[in-house]
Chains A and B, each alone.
Chain A
Amino acid sequence: MGFKFVLLWTDVVLWLMVAAALGHAFRLRRRPEQRATWMKVLRDPAALSAGLVLALFVAVALLDSVHYRRELAPTASAAADQPAYFETRTESLLERALSRQVGMREVSWSAPLATHALTKEVVETPEGTRRDWPRLLHGGVHLTDPAADWRGDVLARSARGALGGLAVFTLVALGVAAGLARATQVTLRAAFGDLVRDRTTLPLRSLLATVLVLCLAAGPVVALMDVYHVFGTDRTGNDVLVQALRSIRTAFVIGTLSTLATLPFAVGLGVLGGYLGGWVDEAIQYLYTVLSSVPNVLLIAACVLMVQVFLDKHPDLFETGAERADLKVFLLCAILGITGWATLCRLVRGETLKLRELDFVQAATAFGVSRARIMLRHIVPNVMHLVLITTVLNFSDLILYEAVLTYVGVGVDPSTSSFGGMINLARTEMSRDPVVWWSFVAAFAFMVALVLAANLFADGVQDAFDPRSRRVRPRLRRVAP
Chain B
Amino acid sequence: MGSYILRRFGYGVLILVGVNLLTFFLFFSVNTPDDMARLNIGGKRVTQAQIDKWKSERGYDRPLYWNDAEAGTARLTRTVLWERSISLLALDFGRSDSARSLDIGHEVRTRMGVSLQLALPLFLLQLVASIGFSLLLVFFRHSRIDFWGVVLCVVMLSISSLFYIIVGQFLFSRVLRLVPISGYAPGLDALRFLVLPVALSLLSRLGTEARLYRAMFLEEIAKDYVRTARAKGLSEAIVLGRHVLRNALIPIITSAGSYLPYVFLGSLVFESFFGIPGLGAFVIEAIAGQDFAIVRSMVFLGALLYIVSNALIDITYTWVDPRVRLA
Contacts and interface: CB of A to CB of B under 8 A. Distances in A.
A303 interface: yes
A309 interface: yes
Main secondary structure of the interface of A (DSSP, over half): helix
Contacts of B268: 297, 404, 408
Interface string A291-330: 1111101110111011001100100000000000000000
A403 B147 CA distance: 29
Given A286-B18, A431-B181, A472-B219, 15 more contacts: A293-B19, A293-B306, A294-B22, A294-B299, A303-B26, A305-B295, A306-B26, A309-B31, A403-B160, A403-B162, A409-B284, A423-B166, A451-B159, A455-B158, A476-B144
Contact of B288 (A293, A299, A409): A409
Contacts of B215: 469, 472
Contact of A430 (B22, B142, B166, B287): B166
Interface stretch (B64-72, B149-157, B240-248): B149-157
A73 B146 CA distance: 64
A423 B169 CA distance: 14
B222 A471 contact: yes
B27 interface: yes
A182 interface: no
Interface string B227-271: 000000000000000000000000000000000011001001100
A168 to B, nearest CB: 27
Contacts, number: 139
A305 B28 CA distance: 12
Interface string B270-286: 00010000000001100
Interface string A261-298: 00000000000000000000000001101111111011
Interface in A388-422: 396, 400, 403-404, 407-410, 419
B183 interface: no
A-B residue pairs, 3 tightest by C-beta: A295-B302, A290-B18, A452-B158
Interface size range on A against B: 35 or more
A404 B299 CA distance: 18
B298 A298 contact: yes
Interface residues of B, number: 60
Contact of B287 (A404, A408, A447, A472): A408
Interface of A: 286-287, 289-295, 297-299, 301-303, 305-306, 309-310, 313, 396, 400, 403-404, 407-410, 419, 423, 426-427, 430-431, 435, 440, 444, 447-448, 451-452, 455-456, 459, 469, 471-472, 474-477
A455 B162 contact: no
B86 interface: no
Contacts of B22: 290-291, 294
Contact of A477 (B15, B26, B142): B142
A471 B141 CA distance: 12
Contacts of B19: 290, 293-294
A475 B218 CA distance: 13
Contact of A302 (B27, B141, B147, B158): B27
B160 A396 contact: no
B77 interface: no
B175 to A, nearest CB: 10
Contact of B141 (A298, A440, A474): A474
A474 B150 contact: yes
A293 B30 contact: no
B291 to A, nearest CB: 10
Contacts of B261: 295
Nearest to B310: A293
B31 A440 contact: no
A293 B157 contact: no
B35 interface: yes
B324 to A, nearest CB: 19
A49 to B, nearest CB: 13
A471 B218 contact: yes
Nearest to A399: B160
A445 to B, nearest CB: 11
Given A293-B307, A407-B162, A302 B142 contact: no
A456 to B, nearest CB: 7
Interface string B4-44: 00000000001100110011001100110001000100000
A475 B141 CA distance: 9
A471 B159 CA distance: 26
Given A455-B157, A474-B142, A477-B142, A298 B283 contact: yes
Contacts of A472: 214-215, 218-219
A410 B287 contact: yes
A459 B215 CA distance: 13
A408 B170 contact: no
A476 B145 CA distance: 10
Given A301-B295, A408-B284, A293 B141 contact: no
Contacts of B298: 295, 298
Nearest to B175: A435
A295 B283 CA distance: 12
Nearest to B27: A302
5 contacts: A302-B27, A309-B39, A404-B161, A409-B284, A459-B154
Given A290-B19, A427-B166, A455-B157, A302 B302 contact: no
